[in-house]
Amino acid sequence: MHTKIEEIKRNESAPKVIKNLFNKKEIEQFLTLYNELPTTVHNKKQNVIKKRWLKEYGKELENIFYERLKNEIGDFKYDNLKTDNGEDIYGLFQESYNPIGLHIDGGFNLEDLIYKQSLIPLTPVGSTVIFKNRFYGQSTNFTIDKSELNIKKLNYGQNKRSNEHIGMFGNKKFNPDDHKKFLNHEKIENLVGLEIELVYEWELGSMLIFDRTNLHCSSSKIEGKKIGLTTFTKR
């Protein structure tokens, strides 16, 4: 678990959505940047493409992004994965064709004072589910799938797999109506004890900000593919 949990808790707040933060031209610039970046991960099994926002790309756009995020959350440091040369990156673009499962993005250094994360939709259809439930460990995929839980050899930046959330938040069954409406890609047994705080419907120009301790996942709502830009921060 993180060593600075009490400090992390003092910085926590409810998720918020800022609408009309980026104009149409800026969204197009983000998409152009995405197309120019080299692919970091192409997971054909999960049908996911990930690209790191490298420092030598889109510097002018980064200045715009940094100032607008800082205006919403105050001072912060980037806490994204580093390049092979040990350099910081600005964020992670992800193109996915299937919903992303239940997880948290608590980072990989338990000494860090983790803070907020942001999500900018670059395609119009999709939604993200934020739960009230929080976890104060490292980046983790929460699952009851035995084959996933048996994965022990992880590459740099890969989330560990765990079922330790089961029972952590009580044993109340997850709301079946919410499961059917938003989360039918997840086994309902994997959601025991969880309660939805926010369902963020993707809208171009908007940005979602929430704590890195919030459990979250994609909703089942996806048409073709969706592309988003995520950035993790610390203090």
Tell me the per-residue pLDDT of 157-191, one tens digit each, with 9 for 90 and over.
889 999 999 999 999 999 999 999 999 999 999 99
Q: Per-residue confidence at 41, pLDDT binned at 50, 70, 90?
A: confident
Mean pLDDT, rounded, for 6-34: 98
Q: For position 223, what pLDDT does the model report?
A: 81
Distance, CA of 233 to CA of 156 (rounded, Å): 18
- Tokens encoding 97: 């064709």
- Which of 233, 235, 231 minimizes the C-alpha distance to 53? 231
Q: How many CA atoms within 13 Å lie on the side-chain side of 223?
A: 5
| Type of residue numbered 74 | G
Q: For position 47, what pLDDT does the model report?
A: 74
Q: Per-residue confidence at 44, pLDDT binned at 50, 70, 90?
A: low
Mean pLDDT, rounded, for 75-97: 89
The mean of the pLDDT values for the chain is 94
- Which of 58, 56, 50, 51 minimizes the C-alpha distance to 26? 58
**Phi and psi based region of residue 52 (left: phi greater than 0; alpha: psi -120 to 50; beta: remaining):** beta
Q: How many CB atoms lie within 10 A of CB 45?
A: 5
Q: How many CB atoms lie within 10 A of CB 172?
A: 10
- Which of 73, 64, 74, 79 minimizes the C-alpha distance to 21? 64
Is the pLDDT at 98 greater than 80? The verdict is yes
Distance, CA of 142 to CA of 103 (rounded, Å): 5
Q: Which residue has the tokens 């089961």?
A: 166
Strand partners for 118? 209, 231
Q: Which domains, from first to last, does the chain contain?
A: 5-234 (2.60.120.620)
- Those residues whose C-beta lies under 8 Å from the C-beta of residue 94, and which sit 6 or more positions away, are 48, 49, 50, 51, 100, 227, 228, 229, 230
Is the pLDDT at 216 greater than 70? The verdict is yes
Q: Per-residue confidence at 43, pLDDT binned at 50, 70, 90?
A: low
Q: For position 22, what pLDDT does the model report?
A: 98
Q: For position 48, what pLDDT does the model report?
A: 86
- Tokens encoding 60: 């002018």
Of 29-43, 132-146, 161-175, 186-200, the poorest mean pLDDT is in 29-43
Q: For position 119, what pLDDT does the model report?
A: 98
Q: For position 203, what pLDDT does the model report?
A: 97
Query: What order do you get walking across the sheet with 140-142 strand by strand?
Result: 160-162, 140-142, 103-104, 214-218, 127-134, 196-201
